[in-house]
Structure 1
């Protein structure tokens, strides 16, 4: 097994936007990535980053949101995989941490690859308005639901083991969206927790700091559920400091993860 980060762009922000107490003068580069997990039984992508139609997708979002979005797109995940000579027949599925635009935009570029979501997140795609406009560009037949039929995992009551060997395990972490998940990836030499948008910076998890009120009001659908998910993941981080916490948009979360698979 191995993992690789596929950087697809950056959204220029300040730390004040990222978490409560963040400095308005501290520059924060909100990275927009996909992560390739290579596995003997077939590979997966955690999220899909920005896609080739991101410009047209943004035009369907509110003007005020676009005004506050300083986006610098890079190469899409599909383009990076092709440039690396990656065999797409190895890609078994795309696993979403949640269905917001900056996590799913690149999924339509990878035609035919199943996109795995929880049942609440699939409903959210249909009913989420502008927040899930990019997700609705995915062909409905590609969306595949999975359930949390597994038992307790690191303090979370339910889990789903994708390969049956403990290497990639998801747990429910609702709040930011109804069906948000945390994805644990366990390599022989290293463990990772891809927490999606549970927090936007690792400091926020350690300090149990929620997003600023003006961000929560617009983007966090259930603040009470989000706080519960945040507290559970904080407990995991305190108990298992060897697990590398990877918030989707924190560049420091990806320290040590190589870019793109070799040919």
Structure 2
């Protein structure tokens, strides 16, 4: 005879297993309005700086993924070159990443491969670090901020993410690094932008616009970049970990949403907004290796002055 405890345990297992099955989100209406005006200056460009990868199962990344599909999760920074000063989006792995990984609980340590840090890649091409206005973090988790340790530049962060950093265990590494760095606090002082409630125009020309997304962490953001050749990019951080979150409208399994997101419903709202824009610009989930393919590598860039 089944006891109440056994029935509850069986039901819990069933719900967990069910949460890994495909269940596409409802398709949002495509964005049909005009894209916001932007006047990116000539000479503006973006480059990817891959710093390494770590392994994870597709099944843990999005609903419907296979447990047998082992993915390489990217730890990649993006350099935005702009005549008014350059900016990095996230910082990837730093020189101390082995210690950063070792400090995590054992169940979170996965096989990983290390590449050159952002600092090493910039210095290898004699980049003028005086041009770097700072590192704009999409959020404060370790795999986005490890490389901050090597860069003596301001960290761009909004007040909501500052509140997350103050309390969250997952921001312990960031707290240790930020205590030795200047934090540039920006606010969402601009109008709604592509369905997101508020925005911040970094250069005042529409070329780099940060929007308040939240949900994954309190102050997680999406960064929209417009280039002089009319290409547009949306760097969406961890709204989804892999491109299937966009192409298949597949959010994280429920167990992972509970563990990874402070407000899962808000993450879903942000993801649906991004999905509605996917045919108007290139969307880049932070940890999808192939999402960076359209962006040239800094290692292959021709060194030039702006």
**TM-score when scaled to structure 1?**
0.93
Gaps of 5+ in 2: 1-43
Q: Is the 8 A contact 1:155 1:236 kept in 2?
A: no
Distance 1:262 1:86 in 2: 11
Q: 1:139 to 1:156 in 2, by over 3 A?
A: closer
1:109: Cα distance to partner? 0.5
Q: Which residue of 2 aligns with 1:156?
A: 196
Q: Which residue of 1 aligns with 2:34?
A: none
Counterpart among 81, 85, 96 of residue 122 in structure 2? 81
Q: Which residue of 1 aligns with 2:217?
A: 177
Q: Which residue of 2 aligns with 1:6?
A: 49
Within-5 A mapping of 1:157-236: 157-189=197-229, 190-236=231-277
SS at match of 2:236: strand
1:3: Cα distance to partner? 0.5
Counterpart among 78, 96, 99 of residue 35 in structure 1? 78
Distance 2:185 2:249 in 1: 30
Within-5 A mapping of 1:78-117: 78-111=119-152, 113-117=153-157
SS at match of 1:24: coil
Distance 1:108 1:232 in 2: 33
1:47-80 CA distance string (max 9 Å, x none): 00000111222232212212xx222121110011
Q: Which residue of 1 aligns with 2:175?
A: 136
SS at match of 2:190: coil
Q: Is the 8 A contact 1:44 1:91 kept in 2?
A: yes
Q: Which residue of 2 aligns with 1:65?
A: 108
Gaps of 5+ in 1: none
Taking only aligned residues, the RMSD between alpha carbons, in angstroms, comes to 1.3
Counterpart among 133, 137, 146 of residue 186 in structure 2? 146
Question: How many matched pairs?
Answer: 256
Distance 1:77 1:22 in 2: 31
Q: 1:8 to 1:142 in 2, by over 3 A?
A: same
Counterpart among 23, 46, 52 of residue 95 in structure 2? 52
Q: Which residue of 1 aligns with 2:26?
A: none
Counterpart among 280, 283, 288 of residue 242 in structure 1? 280
Higher Cα Rg: structure 1 or 2? 2
1:12-58 CA distance string (max 9 Å, x none): 22211211111222231111100000000000000000001112222
Distance 1:236 1:155 in 2: 10
**TM-score when scaled to structure 2?**
0.81
Q: Is the 8 A contact 1:57 1:133 kept in 2?
A: no
1:179-200 CA distance string (max 9 Å, x none): 0100000001211000001111
Distance 2:125 2:280 in 1: 30
Q: Runs in 1 of length 4+ with deviation above 4 angstroms?
A: none
Q: Which residue of 2 aligns with 1:253?
A: 291
